[in-house]
């Protein structure tokens, strides 16, 4: 075969992605109604603590979707996506710290931790963070630029496979050590917390929490549509060619560098958006989000749900984090054993992930013959 085949591969049927949108539309309307309009003694009432908890799961699902875009469809396994998630979270956290103003413990225009550390003035990298629009743009631009810069050097150097994964793991570890230092001006070990308002609305208000939940639903739905459009287009077919036989794609005239760089940058931006929505719902952002273990856990979400399906990582992220919330309370010492056993079990017996149990054959990734026509 002289040319690589770039024909369309079945992704999801129109009926299935419409069903996805319907589910999230119901969530965007149903949860607010059941939380705000239903009496608290009703069986259908959704407690206040459930709303930000599910909103947090939606942010994690967006991260899993972003990782699946590059791992499931381009064959690029990243073990450092926590960097982009934390970058978006810190951008929003800096804004939430600035809007507190003099309401902090030290009644200063500087964030409390800067006063405690005897900072005399606001560092330049905090300039403009008092404006929500600036913070929103920074939450997308900073992880996007970071992903672009890292991808440019990594892909230009032809780094791939396990070497690329190791480098991304080293990146998140280095960033964690950097953010732990008080001199960097990001709160050190404690990070940023004690947020009070966003866009003038109290973060303790039920309506604000519901509004953030609806924003998370909307963002995740938009991210899903964007990713589906990418993988359904010619770009997506080239990405699958890169995943399955990059050398053949190169010999066919496709400069795979730009394709990988583009989708890598998009993935970083989506993680930044997820981090920006995560912080006001959880109420804190610290270097713990940059731990290498967190980035590895993100890859587990995708593997458990089913990589290369877009919908599977959403299921995996939600189920794994729900199990984490339950087990870390009921049996905290067993959680890591459970997570490891789950990953090994899925890898050995469910290579298509949990959604592969019920997916039609058209959804499953088919094994393609190796170059030369051999299996």
pLDDT in tens, 222-277: 999 899 999 999 999 999 999 999 999 999 889 999 999 999 999 999 999 999 99
Q: Where are the domains of the chain?
A: 14-292
230 in Cβ contact with 267 (< 8 Å): no
On the 0-12 / 13-18 / 19+ scale of CB atoms within 10 A, 345 is: exposed
What's the angle, vertex CA 67, arms to CA 65 and CA 261, rounded to 5? 120
pLDDT of residue 373: 43
Could you tell me which residues come within 8 angstroms of residue 35 by beta carbon, excluding any fewer than 6 positions away? 45, 46, 47, 48, 50, 51, 206, 210
244 in Cβ contact with 73 (< 8 Å): no
On the 0-12 / 13-18 / 19+ scale of CB atoms within 10 A, 331 is: exposed
CA atoms within 13 A on the CB side of 335: 15
272 in Cβ contact with 84 (< 8 Å): yes
Listing DSSP states for 180-243 in one string gives HSGGGSS-TTT-EE---EETTEETTSHHHHHHHHHHHHHHHHHHHHHHHHHHHSHHHHHHHHHH
What is the mean pLDDT of each successive set of 10 residues along the chain, which is 375 residues long? 40 59 74 86 88 94 97 95 97 94 74 88 93 96 97 94 94 95 92 92 93 94 92 93 92 92 98 98 95 94 92 92 91 88 88 74 47 43
Listing DSSP states for 48-66 in one string gives TTHHHHHHHHHHHHHHHHH
What is the token pair recorded at 19? 């069903």
CB environment 13-35: b (16+ within 10 A), e (fewer): eeeebeebeeebeebbeebbebb
Name the percent of the chain lying above pLDDT 70.
89
pLDDT tens digit sequence for 307-358: 998 989 999 999 999 999 999 888 888 888 898 898 888 888 888 888 877 5
Task: For tokens 């989708």, name the residue.
Answer: 263
């Amino acid at each position: 075969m002289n040319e690589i085949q770039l024909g369309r591969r079945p992704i999801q049927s129109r009926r299935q992605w419409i069903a996805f949108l319907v589910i999230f539309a119901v969530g965007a309307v149903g949860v607010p109604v059941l939380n705000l309009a239903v009496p608290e003694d009703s069986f259908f009432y959704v407690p206040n603590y459930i709303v930000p908890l599910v909103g947090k799961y939606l942010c994690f699902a967006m991260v899993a979707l972003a990782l699946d875009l590059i791992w499931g469809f381009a064959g690029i396994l990243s073990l450092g996506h926590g960097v982009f998630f934390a970058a978006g979270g810190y951008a929003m956290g800096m804004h939430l710290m600035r809007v507190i103003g003099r309401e902090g413990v030290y009644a200063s225009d500087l964030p409390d931790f800067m006063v405690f550390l005897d900072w005399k003035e606001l560092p330049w990298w905090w300039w403009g963070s008092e404006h929500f629009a600036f913070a929103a743009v920074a939450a997308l631009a900073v992880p996007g630029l970071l992903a672009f810069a890292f991808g440019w050097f990594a892909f230009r150097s032809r780094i791939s496979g396990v070497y690329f994964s190791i480098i991304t793991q080293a990146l998140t570890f280095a960033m964690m050590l950097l953010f732990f230092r008080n001199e960097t001006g990001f709160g050190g070990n404690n990070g940023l917390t004690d947020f009070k308002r966003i866009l003038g609305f109290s973060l303790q208000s039920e309506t604000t929490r519901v509004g953030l939940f609806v924003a998370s639903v909307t963002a995740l739905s938009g991210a899903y549509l964007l990713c589906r459009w990418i993988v359904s287009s010619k770009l997506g077919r080239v990405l699958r060619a890169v995943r399955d036989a990059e050398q053949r794609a190169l010999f066919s005239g496709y400069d795979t560098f730009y394709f990988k760089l583009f989708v890598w940058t998009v993935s970083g931006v989506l993680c930044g958006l997820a981090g920006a929505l995560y912080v006001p719902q959880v109420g804190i952002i610290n270097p713990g989000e940059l731990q290498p273990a967190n980035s590895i856990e993100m890859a587990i979400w995708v593997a458990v749900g089913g990589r290369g399906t877009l919908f599977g990582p959403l299921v995996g992220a939600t189920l794994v984090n729900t199990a984490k919330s339950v087990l870390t309370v009921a049996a905290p010492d067993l959680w890591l054993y459970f997570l490891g056993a789950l990953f090994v079990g899925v890898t050995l017996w469910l290579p298509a992930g949990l959604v592969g149990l019920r997916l039609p054959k058209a959804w499953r990734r088919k094994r393609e013959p190796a170059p030369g026509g051999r299996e």
